[in-house]
Amino acid sequence: MENQKKMLTVFTPAYNRAHTIGRTYESLCRQTCKDFCWLIVDDGSSDNTHELVEEWIVENKIPIRYIYQENQGMHGAHNTAYANIDTELNTCIDSDDWMPDDAVENIVNFWRKYGGEQYAGIIGLDQTADGKIIGSRFPEGMKSTTHQAYYEGGGIGDKKMVYRTDVVRQYPDYPLFEGERYVGLAYKYMLIDQDYEVLTLNKPLVVVDYQPEGSSYNMFKQYWNNPQGFAFYRKTEMLATKSLKRRLRVCTHYVSSSIISRNWHFIQESPCKLLTILTIPSGIALYLIIRHKVKHNQALNFRSKRRLTSRVDGNKNQTNLKK
């Protein structure tokens, strides 16, 4: 079956996840609807990911495309995926996560029934391995929303985005910063929010499994190691958010990231100069906290991580605006 005949591309960025990506593969083989193909973007793995994928391609249970690239980080893998997807819809399933057996069926049937040019795609639910929905369900009567409006309206928890491929390609790629490997994936979501809403689907589309060494689990290290990427992200969010409280928090993070990167022109570069000046004290305080955490190698505990991924940056499955 040719990829062009499929409705959905499930794409998976992979970096040294040979020990977990098999669950992703098995869940895709179990899908009750086969109207999808699987695109794996290997972001510079040094384990046996390539060998595993070669075996699965030979098995020919599902259509698989494999692309290897030098390590660029999750956002770089997303750039590559979006450049190579040729189906109407796409969604990212991380290499440590998997899909419920009816996820593709729910996506395809829902889009065929309700989808249209006025929508960028679908926002669905995340769940844990024991079947618990992460965060809140969508309110009854909410047919569509924007990614940002949902969270600023009180929604919580990681959510799974399914986007129209032609919509995603209307917006700039994630920028790559030398020596860094992280830009919040919700950067694109914020841009899309300015022009489109997404349909709400109150069904789980992914089962998530946060890895202790994963990026969402070690956010303090991410802050420290990728300050240019975070500062870029914060500047975008300053303009996108409609919440003054949120904008103040974003400016605090922007100041902190600017200090880490030793960018002393951050006030001139800020789209919200007055608020940035006002948050310099809190930004310095956050910088000191991050430095202390990194120095003492203190990873976020699970509860803190879950709160951050659902209200801060959209790091786990790239569904939220904040971190």
- Looking at residue 317, its pLDDT comes to 40
Q: Is residue 315's pLDDT more than 80?
A: no
- Looking at residue 217, its pLDDT comes to 54
d(CA 139, CA 247): 25
**The tokens of 282 are what?**
């809190």
pLDDT interval class at 291 (50, 70, 90): very high
- Looking at residue 252, its pLDDT comes to 98
d(CA 212, CA 299): 9
Q: Is residue 299's pLDDT more than 90?
A: no
- Looking at residue 214, its pLDDT comes to 54
Q: Is residue 302's pLDDT more than 80?
A: no
Q: Is residue 146's pLDDT more than 60?
A: yes
Note the maximum CA span of the chain.
59
Q: What is the mean pLDDT of the chain?
A: 90
| % of the chain residues with pLDDT over 70 | 89
- Looking at residue 318, its pLDDT comes to 38
- Looking at residue 307, its pLDDT comes to 38
d(CA 241, CA 261): 24
Taking residues 240-267, what's their average pLDDT? Answer: 96
Answer with the residue of higher pLDDT: 209 or 147: 147
Q: List the domains of the chain with CATH numbers.
A: 3-207 (3.90.550.10), 219-298 (no CATH)
pLDDT interval class at 308 (50, 70, 90): very low
Q: Is residue 5's pLDDT more than 90?
A: no
pLDDT interval class at 297 (50, 70, 90): confident
Other C-beta atoms within 10 Å of 202: how many? Answer: 12
DSSP type of residue 172:
P
Report which of 11, 3, 2 is spatially closest to residue 38, judged by C-alpha positions: 11
Q: Is residue 215's pLDDT more than 90?
A: no
Answer with the residue of higher pLDDT: 22 or 2: 22
Q: β-strands 89-92, 159-164: how paired?
A: antiparallel
Q: Is residue 236's pLDDT more than 80?
A: yes
Is the pTM above the cut of 0.75? yes
Q: Is residue 202's pLDDT more than 90?
A: yes
Q: Is residue 105's pLDDT more than 80?
A: yes
Answer with the residue of higher pLDDT: 317 or 104: 104
